[in-house]
């Protein structure tokens, strides 16, 4: 045995490595099956971070499916309503590098709320069916209205409306919602005091 | 003598207080216009009680409080309401907000008012309601309505009243002058507040850089049992409520809690005077002492100012030279905010107008890299780690920020003041705090929408399942019937007439339904409802959509080309149909042929037009 | 007219980062003067050449990283690194030693980690240690301070020749710490007798160099560039260690506390190296621990390690420890209980 190894050291090494690899691989495989966790807690955690607008801008039919897709390795930057904050949270949770928002799926916009121009509404219930969070009230042939506090601003109701009576109203900043901005990162051109003064 | 504790951190910026204490408090007079923002403090905005054109008297309530944390607004002199409109207000955002604008008539006529003869005979609740109706709000910090702050809950007994005369911000001397000139009023107001709270221990805390004020206050408080005037070493920010409590009692307000958790209530010095005026004279809060200072003012001084006076009026009084001044600060240089314009009216919380020259407060130098020198950590009165917070704030790591107690930051600005790399640290914290609050709000919202989404999904599934079940049931029933029918196979001929009956009945039913529908639509028409309103509306909308689609202004050539494309597609479609018709030998062939010819003619015409346009 | 609306605070201390750095540079003067007095112009040549290369390296790195070169050069941090390394190198070191040390310090230890404020290790000490490990012979060849008396301290030309020519036959010798390390078996008193050049306390020349840096450090303390915690804690720890193991001067003795305080790079380390804010612990308590750790390590490495002077190694090791120290010495925030549960 020893002589054989001494004679073919290279082969022996390869064999040993392959053997080890197979042994540990099968161990891991066994563990994966034996200790499989029920459900998919990571998808739940991701889902808790997603903004739950259910807007489908990510290309998945709702936040939950996107959460499951992320758990399966989908990119984390496809959620425009969540924007940078959501991407950062996801990056922290999944321990990956945060990346900029994928513009293909839309850009980060200020929060908006759907508003139905009520005298134009014909009561077709199409928007009610489209609303993923049941935030539109109304009945057939009766005027509909949006529960503003529950509206996620997904704008899924705008398209189905046959009379175009739904507007997405961007939330205005009021004295109550105004917030201090982060200090502007100094643009490279302005790093010298005199430059900054000239620009100001 | 009471023991005085030290606070960690703190800084010693140049005090610059001497300039404005050389003159006694002067009246700022009545300006040309008074502006009253309806929202002067945290909490709900007040609701106007007057309309444009109304005459108001001095001291008249012109807007009433809405909700618990709110204070009414009073006119500071007699005059006419000229507008209720959006004006720029004293807010760091520089935003406009609804304001009542009054043009004084110069007569300065008081509304009828009277104070209490003897406040000790009144119950705390009565006094609180007087204070509330007088619009008294904290005159040092966020302008929290005083009546709310003084309403104690039975489960948190109060044993100590602290009057904050610290005035640790550089430049500001309004409290100092108040102590020097009106110490009696301060003591009187303090006694009233102590009576409301039922406390035995009263401490007035003053920094030791105001010896005259302290002396005057001590002599005024001599005959008043229980009032201690304590002076302690000058250090910024010892005037922060939490810091003052630590200095005077050695205790710390629990994180996220209120001083009342320690049995302490803090009030500003100016507030005591306002309380005294409200209770003893029945006068609402319509004026306050404001320091107008800065090197661009020729005569820095303290003024008794009617609330609502535009800042420009005060600057004029103090001989400010606007050409020397490129920023105007409401409040002190450490925590005050810069105003966009001098038209901003002063409010209940305005204690200082600072108009510095460029040399005095030079613009911030550009930010350099953090070198982790830790000077900020030494300066922080809350023992935070500003450089760590800065790091997490730039990375927007909200959880880390909260773990490092960002919300215990009192935004005193000591860290930014000392930072050798000129990093606007406190601004990062302010912004991050707002972002985190928003983040939490968003999270709450998203949790709610998730619940709604999930319950909707569940409902849809359930409906689907029920439908399925019904279908299943029907199918089973049909099968059962079929089976039954199968057993009755021999009598099929008997069944046939039955089936015919069923069909006839169905036809009759449907006819009846149609008639009913017609009748209904007739009824709707009678009631003036167009039966086809929905269809019409859809058509209109379609037209509108089409119009909107056409709206992008195309050049004539582009339009023609669009037309051409559509005509061509129609030709090809019609051609296909024609081929089909020919092969099947339908009689539409001739019609189709003529339409193709027409379309081709149209296409030629468009082509000719395009050519023409192209030539020209 | 719209006024400018910067955010509060509107006031600011006049001291900025470049000002701090300039103060540090100023404070090295007494020490450098002492070095020059005893060891000739070599130190000045070291510093000048190191500064030149450091500025060039910094500018190059900033250019590569797409930063405003002049803006960041003006913070003087590269200059401080160069000066500290120039002081630490033996006077009259060959130019390539200086160049290698500075390139490593600026390009690798500083800029590769993200530049000013991001370097986990003190760049000057990192450069010094690289040199000490790579070129132990050149790095331990100190000129004899005796030259002062024999009138043979290298002048400017000679120092330049030492640096760039290399042929100068200078009188080199072992430093006090070398002798203590190698002279095992001798009674302390004998060592002292055998080596008159050692001066009275810490070695001729060395004691004055250290006193020079001590003076500079006191000036910086006075100006509030750093707090007393780390330097004092380091000096006290070193003294305590030396006192414990100084058994009155037997052959196994490690030298008196005074000798340890006044020889080698003790004062330079205490006031100019471990006070480097970037790579040190941040909180007050943290700096006490940080300094004490450095002091103990200096003694341990001097006494039992392979290299005679230990400040550089000790500093790098405590740099490692700084984040941990920070983690465990987070100050208790106002309003939070000592338990830290809330």
Q: What is the pLDDT of residue A44?
A: 84
Which residue in A48, A85, A133 is closest to B449 by CB distance? A133
Q: Domain of residue B465: give its range.
A: 365-481
Indicate yes or no: CB of C6 within 8 angstroms of CB of B363. yes
Task: Indicate the pLDDT class of residue B306, thresholds 50, 70 and 90.
Answer: very high
Task: Indicate the pLDDT class of residue B66, thresholds 50, 70 and 90.
Answer: confident
DSSP code per residue over A75-93: -S---TTTHHHHHHHHHHH
Which pTM does this prediction carry?
0.77
What is the nearest CA distance from C46 to chain B, expressed in angstroms? 26
Peptide bond into B180 cis (omega under 30): no
Average pLDDT over residues B537-546: 69
Identify the CATH number of the domain in which residue B164 sits.
3.40.50.11540
Report the C-alpha gap between C279 and C43 in whole angstroms.
25
Average pLDDT over residues B88-110: 87
Task: Indicate the pLDDT class of residue C135, thresholds 50, 70 and 90.
Answer: confident
Q: Which two tokens stand for residue B556?
A: 């004539």
Residue B52 domain-assigned (yes or no): yes
Q: Which two tokens stand for residue C18?
A: 């470049």
Q: What is the pLDDT of residue A97?
A: 83
Same domain for B462 and B568? Answer: no
Q: Which two tokens stand for residue B124?
A: 């705390």
What is the nearest CA distance from A11 to chain B, expressed in angstroms? 51
Residue whose C-alpha is closest to residue B165's, from B119, B223, B115, B221:
B221
Same domain for B203 and B256? Answer: yes
Q: Is B470's pLDDT higher than 90?
A: yes
Least confident of B475-479, B565-569, C177-181: C177-181
- Cβ-based burial of C221 (10 A; exposed 0-12, middle 13-18, buried ≥19): middle
Average pLDDT over residues B580-605: 77
Q: Is C266's pLDDT higher than 90?
A: no
Report whether B364 contacts C6 (CB < 8 A).
yes
CA B367, distance to chain mean position in Å, is 30
Task: Indicate the pLDDT class of residue B472, thresholds 50, 70 and 90.
Answer: very high
Element (H, E) at C218: helix C206-223
Indicate yes or no: CB of B366 within 8 angstroms of CB of A196. yes
Identify the CATH number of the domain in which residue B420 sits.
1.10.1060
- Partners of residue B326 in chain C, C-beta under 8 Å: 3-4
Same domain for B289 and B319? Answer: yes
- Partners of residue C9 in chain B, C-beta under 8 Å: 333-335, 413-414, 416-417, 426
Residue whose C-alpha is closest to residue C42's, from C124, C80, C79, C97:
C97
Indicate yes or no: CB of B431 within 8 angstroms of CB of A190. no
In percent, the amount of chain B with pLDDT more than 90 equals 30
Same domain for B249 and B132? Answer: yes
Least confident of B177-186, C89-98, C216-225: C89-98
Q: Which of B440, B463, B481 is the last residue of a domain?
A: B481
Which residue in C4, C7, C68 is closest to A188 by CB distance? C68
Same domain for B48 and B148? Answer: yes
Report the C-alpha gap between B274 and B130 in whole angstroms.
11
Report whether B172 contacts B329 (CB < 8 A).
no
Indicate yes or no: CB of C7 within 8 angstroms of CB of A192. no
Indicate yes or no: CB of B456 within 8 angstroms of CB of A134. yes
Same domain for B205 and B350? Answer: yes
- Judge whether C68 is closer than 8 Å to chain A, CB to CB: yes
Q: Which of B481, B501, B519 is the last residue of a domain?
A: B481
Residue B413 domain-assigned (yes or no): yes
Report whether A136 contacts A75 (CB < 8 A).
no
Same domain for B451 and B595? Answer: no
What is the nearest CA distance from B84 to chain C, expressed in angstroms? 24
Same domain for B455 and B334? Answer: no
Average pLDDT over residues B101-126: 88
In percent, the amount of chain B with pLDDT more than 70 equals 89
Report the C-alpha gap between B381 and B401 in whole angstroms.
18
Report whether B334 contacts C11 (CB < 8 A).
yes
Average pLDDT over residues C10-39: 87
pLDDT in tens, B489-526: 554 445 455 666 767 777 777 777 777 766 666 655 55
Q: Name the CA dihedral angle for A134, A138, A143, A147, rounded to a multiple of 10 degrees.
A: -40
Report the C-alpha gap between C134 and C126 in whole angstroms.
12
Q: What is the pLDDT of residue A38?
A: 65
pLDDT in tens, B21-31: 888 998 988 99
Residue whose C-alpha is closest to residue B161's, from B210, B136, B195:
B195
pLDDT in tens, B329-376: 998 899 988 888 888 999 888 989 999 988 888 888 888 888 888 888
Low-confidence ranges of chain A (pLDDT < 70): 37-40, 185-200
Q: What is the pLDDT of residue B530?
A: 47
Q: What is the 3-state secondary structure (H, E, C) of B410-438?
A: CCCCHHHHHCCCCCCHHHHHHHHHHHHHH
What is the nearest CA distance from B95 to chain A, expressed in angstroms? 7
Residue B387 domain-assigned (yes or no): yes
Place of tokens 């502006």: B35
Which residue in A150, A164, A197 is closest to B449 by CB distance? A150
Indicate yes or no: CB of A191 within 8 angstroms of CB of C71. yes
- Cβ-based burial of C14 (10 A; exposed 0-12, middle 13-18, buried ≥19): exposed
DSSP single-letter state for residue B606: H
pLDDT in tens, A153-191: 888 888 888 888 888 888 877 777 788 888 876 444 344
CA distances from B563 to B542, B556, B571, B606 (A): 19, 10, 12, 8
Residue B506 domain-assigned (yes or no): no
Report the C-alpha gap between B137 and B73 in whole angstroms.
10
Q: Is C214's pLDDT higher than 60?
A: yes
Q: Is C179's pLDDT higher than 70?
A: no
Residue whose C-alpha is closest to residue B273's, from B138, B154, B105, B456:
B138
pLDDT in tens, B271-293: 999 999 999 999 999 999 999 99
**Average pLDDT over all residues of chain B:** 84
Q: What is the pLDDT of residue B234?
A: 92
Residue B1 domain-assigned (yes or no): no
Average pLDDT over residues C124-146: 81
Which residue in A85, A88, A133 is closest to B456 by CB distance? A133
Which residue in C2, C226, C334 is closest to B340 by CB distance? C2
Same domain for B383 and B342? Answer: no
Q: What is the pLDDT of residue A199?
A: 40
Give the mutation candidate from A180, A192, A194 for the C interface (greatest C CB count, under 10 A). A192
Q: Is B418's pLDDT higher than 80?
A: yes
Which of residues B68 and B210 earns the better pLDDT score? B210
Q: Is B103 helix (H, G, I), strand (E, B) or coil?
A: strand
What is the nearest CA distance from A196 to chain C, expressed in angstroms? 13
* The total number of structural domains that make up chain B: 3
Which residue in B363, B424, B434 is closest to A197 by CB distance? B363
Q: Which two tokens stand for residue A52?
A: 């739950």
Chain A residue at shortest CA distance from B428: A182
**Average pLDDT over all residues of chain C:** 80
- Judge whether C71 is closer than 8 Å to chain A, CB to CB: yes
Same domain for B329 and B427? Answer: no
Bridge partners of residue B99, in order along the sequence: B37, B85
Q: What is the pLDDT of residue C17?
A: 85
What is the nearest CA distance from A199 to chain B, expressed in angstroms? 13
Q: Other C-beta atoms within 10 Å of C27: how many?
A: 23
Report whether B173 contacts B18 (CB < 8 A).
no
Same domain for B111 and B203? Answer: yes
Question: In sequence order, what are the residues at sequence separation of 6 or more whose Cβ sits closer than 8 angstroms to the Cβ of residue A80?
Answer: A57, A101, A105, A106, A107, A108, A109
Q: What is the pLDDT of residue B41?
A: 66
Q: Is C173's pLDDT higher than 60?
A: no
Residue B217 domain-assigned (yes or no): yes
pLDDT in tens, B33-52: 999 988 776 667 888 999 88
Residue B522 domain-assigned (yes or no): no
Task: Indicate the pLDDT class of residue C105, thresholds 50, 70 and 90.
Answer: very high
Same domain for B313 and B376? Answer: no
Q: Other C-beta atoms within 10 Å of C105: how many?
A: 32
Residue whose C-alpha is closest to residue C129's, from C93, C89, C166, C95:
C89
CA distances from C44 to C32, C85, C220 (A): 8, 12, 22
Least confident of A101-110, B149-158, B537-546, C202-211: B537-546
Residue B253 domain-assigned (yes or no): yes
């Amino acid at each position: 045995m020893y002589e054989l190894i001494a004679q073919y050291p290279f082969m022996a090494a390869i064999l040993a490595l392959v053997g080890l690899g197979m042994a540990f691989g099968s161990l891991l495989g066994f563990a994966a099956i034996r200790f499989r966790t029920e459900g998919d807690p990571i998808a739940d955690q991701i889902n808790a971070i997603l903004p739950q607008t259910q807007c489908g801008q990510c290309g998945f039919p709702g936040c939950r499916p996107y959460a499951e897709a992320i758990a399966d390795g989908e990119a984390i930057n496809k959620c425009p309503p969540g924007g940078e904050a959501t991407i950062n949270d996801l990056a922290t949770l999944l321990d990956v590098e945060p990346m900029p928002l994928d513009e293909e799926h839309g850009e980060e916009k200020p929060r908006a709320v759907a508003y139905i121009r009520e005298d134009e509404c014909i009561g077709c219930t199409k928007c009610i069916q489209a609303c993923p969070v049941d935030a539109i009230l109304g009945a057939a042939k009766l005027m509909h209205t949006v529960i503003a506090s529950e509206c996620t601003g997904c704008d899924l109701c705008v398209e189905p409306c046959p009379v175009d009576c739904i507007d997405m109203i961007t939330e205005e900043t009021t004295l109550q919602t105004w917030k201090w901005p982060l200090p502007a990162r100094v643009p490279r051109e302005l790093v010298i005091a005199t430059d900054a003064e000239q620009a100001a | 003598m009471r023991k005085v504790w030290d606070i960690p951190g703190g800084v010693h910026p140049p005090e610059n207080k001497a300039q404005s204490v050389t003159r006694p408090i002067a009246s700022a007079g009545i300006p040309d216009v008074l502006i009253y923002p309806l929202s002067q403090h945290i909490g709900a905005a007040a609701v106007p009680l007057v309309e444009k054109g109304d005459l108001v008297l001095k001291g008249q309530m012109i807007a009433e409080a809405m909700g618990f944390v709110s204070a009414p607004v009073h006119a500071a002199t007699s005059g006419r309401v000229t507008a209720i409109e959006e004006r720029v207000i004293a807010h760091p955002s520089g935003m406009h907000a609804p304001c009542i604008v009054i043009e004084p008539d110069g007569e300065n006529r008081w509304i009828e008012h009277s104070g209490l003869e003897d406040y000790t005979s009144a119950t705390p609740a009565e006094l609180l309601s007087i204070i509330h109706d007088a619009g008294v709000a904290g005159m040092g910090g966020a302008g929290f309505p005083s009546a709310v702050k003084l309403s104690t809950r039975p489960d948190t007994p109060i044993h100590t009243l602290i009057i904050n005369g610290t005035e640790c911000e550089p430049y500001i001397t309004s409290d100092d002058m108040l102590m020097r000139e009106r110490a009696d009023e301060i003591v009187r107001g303090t006694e009233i507040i102590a009576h409301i709270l039922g406390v035995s221990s009263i401490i007035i805390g003053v920094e030791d850089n105001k010896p005259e004020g302290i002396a005057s206050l001590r002599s005024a408080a001599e005959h008043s049992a229980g009032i201690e005037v304590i002076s302690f070493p000058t250090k910024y920010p010892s005037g922060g409520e939490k810091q003052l409590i630590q200095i005077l009692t050695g205790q710390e307000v629990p994180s996220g809690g209120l001083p009342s958790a320690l049995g302490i209530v803090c009030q500003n010095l100016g507030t005591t005077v306002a309380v005294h005026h409200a209770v003893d004279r029945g006068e609402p809060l319509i004026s306050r002492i404001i320091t107008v200072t800065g090197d661009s003012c020729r005569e820095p001084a303290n003024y008794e100012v009617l609330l609502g006076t535009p800042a420009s009026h005060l600057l004029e009084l103090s001989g400010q030279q606007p050409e020397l001044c490129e920023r105007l600060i409401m409040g002190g240089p450490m925590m005050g905010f810069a105003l966009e314009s001098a038209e901003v009216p002063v409010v209940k919380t305005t204690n200082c107008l600072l108009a510095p020259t460029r040399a005095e407060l030079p613009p911030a130098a550009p930010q350099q890299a953090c070198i982790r020198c830790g000077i900020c950590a030494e300066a922080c009165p809350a023992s935070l780690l500003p450089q760590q917070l800065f790091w997490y704030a730039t990375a927007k790591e909200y959880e880390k920020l909260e773990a490092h107690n960002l919300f215990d930051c009192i935004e005193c600005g000591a860290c930014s003041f000392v930072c050798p790399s000129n990093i606007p640290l406190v601004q990062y914290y302010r912004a991050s705090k707002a972002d985190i609050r928003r983040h939490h709000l968003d999270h709450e919202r998203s949790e709610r929408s998730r619940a709604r989404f999930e319950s909707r999904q569940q409902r849809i599934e359930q409906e689907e399942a029920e439908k399925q079940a019904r279908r299943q049931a029907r199918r089973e029933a049909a099968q059962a019937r079929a089976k039954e029918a199968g057993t009755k196979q021999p009598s099929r001929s008997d069944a046939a007439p039955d089936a015919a009956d069923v069909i006839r009945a169905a036809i009759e039913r449907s006819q009846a339904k149609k008639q009913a529908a017609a009748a209904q639509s007739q009824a709707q028409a009678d009631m003036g409802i167009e039966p086809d309103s929905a269809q019409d509306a859809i058509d209109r909308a379609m037209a509108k959509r089409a119009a909107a689609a056409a709206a992008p202004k195309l050049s004539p050539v582009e339009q023609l080309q669009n037309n051409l494309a559509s005509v061509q597609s129609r030709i090809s479609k019609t051609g296909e149909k024609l081929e089909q018709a020919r092969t099947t030998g339908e009689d539409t062939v001739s019609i189709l042929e003529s339409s193709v010819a027409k379309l081709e003619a149209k296409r030629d015409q468009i082509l000719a037009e395009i050519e023409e346009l192209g030539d020209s | 007219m719209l006024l400018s609306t910067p955010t509060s605070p509107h006031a600011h201390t006049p001291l900025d980062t470049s000002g701090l750095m300039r103060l540090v540079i100023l404070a090295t003067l007494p020490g450098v003067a002492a070095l020059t007095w005893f060891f000739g112009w070599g130190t000045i040549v070291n510093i000048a050449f190191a500064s030149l290369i450091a500025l060039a390296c910094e500018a190059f790195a900033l250019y590569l990283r797409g930063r405003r070169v002049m803006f960041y050069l003006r913070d003087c941090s590269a200059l401080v690194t160069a000066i500290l390394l120039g002081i630490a190198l033996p006077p009259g070191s060959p130019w390539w030693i200086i160049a290698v040390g500075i390139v490593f310090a600026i390009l690798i230890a500083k800029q590769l980690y993200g530049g000013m404020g991001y370097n986990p290790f003190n760049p000057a000490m990192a450069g010094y240690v690289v040199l000490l490990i790579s070129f132990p012979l050149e790095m331990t060849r100190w000129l004899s301070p005796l030259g002062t008396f024999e009138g043979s301290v290298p002048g400017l030309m000679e120092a330049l020749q030492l640096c760039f020519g290399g042929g100068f036959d200078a009188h080199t010798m072992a430093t006090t710490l070398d002798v203590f390390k190698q002279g095992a078996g001798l009674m302390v008193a004998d060592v002292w007798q055998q080596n008159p050049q050692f001066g009275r306390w810490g070695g001729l020349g060395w004691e004055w160099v250290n006193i020079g840096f001590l003076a500079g450090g006191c000036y910086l303390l006075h100006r509030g560039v750093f707090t007393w915690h780390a330097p004092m804690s380091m000096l006290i720890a070193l003294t305590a260690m030396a006192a414990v193991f100084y058994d009155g001067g037997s052959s196994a003795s490690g030298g008196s506390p005074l000798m340890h305080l006044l020889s080698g790079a003790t004062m330079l380390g205490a006031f100019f190296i471990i006070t480097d804010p970037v790579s040190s612990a941040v909180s007050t308590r943290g700096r006490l621990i940080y300094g004490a750790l450095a002091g103990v390590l200096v003694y341990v490495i001097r006494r039992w390690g392979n290299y005679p002077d230990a400040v550089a190694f000790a500093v790098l090791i405590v740099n490692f420890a700084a984040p941990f120290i920070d983690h465990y010495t987070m100050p208790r925030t106002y309003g939070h209980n000592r338990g830290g549960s809330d």
